[in-house]
Amino acid sequence: MKKRVVVALSGGVDSSVAAALLQEQGYEVVGITMCFSLAGSQRRKPSCCSLQGIDDARSIAHRLGIRHYVLNMQKALAEKVIDDFCREYSKGRTPNPCVRCNQYIKFGALLKKALSLGAQYLATGHYARIVKVSGPGPGARIYVLKKGKDKKKDQSYFLYRLDQFQLKHVLFPVGGYTKDEVRALAKKFSLPVADKQASQEICFLPQDDYRQFLASRLKLSVRPGLVKDIKGNILGRHKGVAFYTIGQREGLGIAAGYPIYITRLDHRRNLVIVGDKKEACKKEFIIKDIFWSHQPPKKKIALNLKIRYNHKERMAQLKPFGSKFKAAFRRAQFAITPGQSAVFYDKDKVLGGGIIDEVL
């Protein structure tokens, strides 16, 4: 009997090729497209949860001859992702909704649905790899999350919170390919989305404008306030701390005679603090909500640390700090941002990560 696998079929080239590869490997493939009923069809660019995405996913399923279902995930997205997204921004923090979506929606609710349908696995089009290695005990085996082959497309940063149960039941069929190779495979399988533009934006933002989205959701909780430098001098006014992020340079409307960047957001005093680029670079910060893929360290450890998706990981020292961890880079890094994920690596292996809580 064929093993059944549910593929999170977004209508994009990556998930479509993932489905085709698994079918070629002999799996019974079932496609499920998640519908969040938020983005609709009024987007400038393709979205994984737009009506166009659903139609493309249906076309792929028809082309492959597999069953296809659409699953309404609007409630789960609102409760687990959007509420946190708005709450964090209102506190002057910059959240990463894709991390929470992977943890709670794709590899939480959707994985649970896949298993209830008798599938052994849930597969997605993520550029990452999962390998099984020897565990700590005799005959024990554990699952390790690794970077994808295509380092420019690697998405392991967004997946660091996947636990052993999830990793055991998840497949990343395109993780061992580059994006160019995936597009070539799409043409080989005669998939109609071979040349489809990739979606990089947050899927629940109708016009890719998080400020407009926040303004409609937060309403009265966003208040204008003062922009000051680190010495306390008033330089201007801001529209509300929720609309800014650490390291931001554009949109301040301030002529200081030199490039200025946001160095800190103080939501309690409703202040935006700015300075030059050097003042926006820091070394030490506190990480909360730590997740370790295996056994957590009990003492100081040196590892590679990545503070946002497009940041090249750098060597840092990590040590327990009560229920949290304190991290210290060897060299100051630009725009360490509370709310973003800090992910730990050993070469291409993901060790874990957490949420940046406070910059020291």
Active site positions, annotated: 101, 203
Q: Of 294, 291, 276, 252, nearest to 335 (Cα)?
A: 276
Q: Where are the alpha helices (DSSP H) in 72-178?
A: 74-77, 83-90, 97-100, 111-116, 164-168
Determine which helix (DSSP H) or strand (DSSP E) holds 348, and give its type and residue range: none
E strands present in the chain: 4-8, 28-35, 67-72, 121-123, 128-134, 141-147, 170-171, 225-229, 234-238, 261-266, 271-275, 281-292, 301-306, 314-321, 324-334, 341-346, 349-359
**What percent helix, strand, coil does the chain show, rounded to 5?**
30, 30, 40
How far apart, in whole angstroms, are the C-alpha atoms of residue 32 and residue 19? 11
Both tokens of 66, joined, read 């597999």
Burial of 7: CB neighbours in 10 Å, binned 0-12, 13-18, 19+: buried
Mode of pairing for the β-strands spanning 281-292 and 349-359: antiparallel
How far apart, in whole angstroms, are the C-alpha atoms of residue 158 and residue 298? 25
Half-sphere exposure of residue 338, counting CA atoms within 13 Å on the CB side?
20
